Structure formats: C-alpha cells, structure tokens
Amino acid sequence: MAVNPLQMGSGRGKSRDIKIDGIDLFFAGNRLLTDANLTLAYGRRYGLVGNNGVGKSTLLRALSRREIAVPTHISILHVEQEVILIAMELMTGYGR
C-alpha cells in the first residue's frame, strides 16, 4: 500500500494553510525581501512570476530548506530545474 506523506496523521487537526509574517530574505549580501508576508491557502495553485534574478528560486529554496519558518507538519517538495546541455543538443540537433 502506497502512503502519501501529505495525508499522514502527524498534521491532523492542524491547518494546512501557510501564513508567515515578517519574512526577511537575503542572498549574496543583497536584500530580496524585507518584513514580507506570505499566505498560501491549502488546495489553491499559485504562480511565482518576476524578472530573472529577482529571487524567485531563492525564495522557493529558502522555503524548502525551512530557512523560513514553515510549520513542521507541512511537507515541502522542491524540485529544481535541470538542463543537461548534451541531451538538449541531441534532441534539437543544436551545435551541428
């Protein structure tokens, strides 16, 4: 029997929503967020949109590493994008 860790009993009776206030986020000495608030409602889908280099991936990484205080009964799976150049070249014929 497969078990979905998101449905395990450890979080019973606890909110599945995420509400975090007062987030400060820095990367390489640069301030990305100051006293920011994050609210995510269970069951909703969200998109994170912004220019390259503004900190979208840094925010997601900080959440998944729990550098930002996400409630411990909430499971987080963060899959980073990987691009393998050789595979792309083979599929597209690029570089010939």
3 in any annotated domain: no
User: Over 90: is that where the pLDDT of 23 sits?
Assistant: yes
User: Over 80: is that where the pLDDT of 22 sits?
Assistant: yes
Q: What is the pLDDT of residue 12?
A: 67
27 in any annotated domain: yes
Q: What range does the domain containing 28 cover? A: 14-96
Q: What is the pLDDT of residue 34?
A: 94
Residues 6+ away with beta carbon under 8 Å from 69: 20
Distance of alpha carbon 59 from alpha carbon 57, whole angstroms: 5
Locate 49 and state its tokens. 């949109």
25-48: pLDDT as tens digits: 999 998 999 999 999 999 999 999
CATH number at residue 29: 3.40.50.300
2 in any annotated domain: no
Helix (H) or strand (E) holding 23: strand 18-27
90 in any annotated domain: yes
Instruction: Please tell me the total count of domains within the chain.
Output: 1
78, 57 in Cβ contact below 8 A? no
| pTM strictly above 0.75 | no
